[in-house]
Structure 1
Amino acid sequence: LHIFGSGHSHIVGVDLFYRAGGLSPVNAILDYNLTQIGGGRPTRSTKLERLEGYAKIILDNYDLRSGEILVIVSQSGINPAVVEAALEGKALGLKVIALTSLEQSSNAKSRHFSGKRLFELADLVIDNRIPPGDAVIEIGEGLPKAAPISTIIHCLIMQSIVAEVAARLHNAGVKPPIWMSANVPGGDAWAVEMMKQFGGSRLRTQ
């Protein structure tokens, strides 16, 4: 399973990748320039997620194989980065899952030249049911709402899926490949075995 998101949505990938209690065969597609920790102006990631062609460059750095799953996380689902990631994933034969707000996305115009929004390209759409704008707490008249919740909700949804997958594998008689914390006895040895079976990041070395 591969997971991609820009801006704060990249946190969902970080939360799934090499995470105690998470599944080993997960690859987070990360690019610091698309995050708020990449340095420079805070608005740089916003400009880059709107830059057509950038997401393809990122995905080209990863070994993505036909039949695998690509989860794309985006509250709005309208920026070129996520739309392009979906198009590229489909072209490579991956199954694309969108984690997005249908209320916001279906009432917004795509910023990608194709006019497509993320939910229109996905094989499966998971609606987070979050209202447009992400934030949910009214502070005062004339002020934007506070307390964005998409990152928390997206992480909760994905970790719920992880738990369900692990349970189904176990019930089917298959040992689920779950990471153990490196900070408990046996954790380091467990990690070595998981790495032998599934490796780590699918980032290309050349």
Structure 2
Amino acid sequence: MSINPQMFFDEAQKIIERVRTEQMENIKKTAAVMADVIANDGVVQVYGPGHSKSFAIELAHRAGGMVPFNAVLLDQLALSGVISAEELKDPATERNPDNGLALLKLHDIRPQDSFIICSNSGINGSVVEIAMEAKRRGLHLTAVTSVDHSSKSQSRHPSGKRLFEVADVVIDNCVPHGDAILSSPELPVKVCGGSSVANVFIAQSLNAETLRLLLERNYEPPIYMSQNIEGADERNEALRAKYEGRVT
């Protein structure tokens, strides 16, 4: 059978259902930490390199999301002049542990914060270095990763560790090795990546559970309104003022 949209929908739905049934406990564990962090004026730091950037920006500065989510992105190294735009496109940038430490220097990370790192493979140098640095600072760390892919892959970090081996909590996105989820006898390799779909589901599940826990404590969560609604800019800026310099 040739590749078609229904096939992708069916396979993606299977992955999301696996996440729902197999990973909800870990989602709830992480959300409990996130609620504690936010209630104590901390910030949830979210790093996502490559296509996993979509996980970070699904949480940070997003309509319906909370202000104290900070996106930690390799793009920021280029914007600050640490690396060039050409280097940003080079896979070697994500693989370099030094870039992980350089990126953290651009952010005001405090002891009351926590970290979530999303990386499908979980093997690249910057990913593992940021994970290890988060642990060195005593911060809680959740990994969102494909355990299948990562466990079958060799680390590119000098320590030999992979992201899931460093984290306090691991949320498996249940995506198979290689990310792509459809195959056809007409094609030499699998196609249609599944990690972005799974990661968005995980991100918004974390958001929903964290909000539930905060409301349970009678804590009013600072929620972004869509900037395309009248009056939203003033409201959002007022909420961001508390976290000035701490969230992008």
Q: Distance in 1 between matches of 2:87 and 2:132?
A: 29
**1:112-151 aligned within 5 A:** 112-140=157-185, 143-151=188-196
Map of 1:2 onto structure 2: 45
TM-score (norm: length of structure 2): 0.74
Q: Which residues of structure 2 form unaligned runs of 5+? A: 1-43, 79-83
Matched residue pairs, number?
A: 200
Aligned residue among 55, 59, 76 for 2:104? 59
By how many angstroms is 1:192 displaced? 2.4
Q: Which has the higher contact order (CA 8 A, sep 6+)?
A: 2
Q: Percent identity?
A: 38
Q: Distance in 2 between matches of 1:153 and 1:114?
A: 28
Q: Distance in 2 between matches of 1:122 and 1:59?
A: 17
Q: Which residues of structure 1 form unaligned runs of 5+? A: none
Structure 1 residues 171 and 186 mapped into 2: Cα distance closer, same or farther (>3 Å)? farther
Secondary structure at the counterpart of residue 40 of structure 1: helix
Q: Distance in 2 between matches of 1:161 and 1:67?
A: 19
Moved over 2 A (4+): 38-43, 139-142, 196-203
RMSD, aligned CA: 2.1
CA contact (8 A) 2:179 2:194 kept: yes
Secondary structure at the counterpart of residue 53 of structure 1: helix
By how many angstroms is 1:54 displaced? 1.4
Secondary structure at the counterpart of residue 97 of structure 2: coil
By how many angstroms is 1:140 displaced? 2.7
Secondary structure at the counterpart of residue 224 of structure 2: coil
Q: Distance in 2 between matches of 1:183 and 1:31?
A: 27
CA contact (8 A) 1:28 1:201 kept: no
Map of 1:47 onto structure 2: 92
Q: Does 1:183 align with 2:228?
A: yes
Bigger proportion of residues as helix: 2
Structure 1 residues 43 and 193 mapped into 2: Cα distance closer, same or farther (>3 Å)? closer
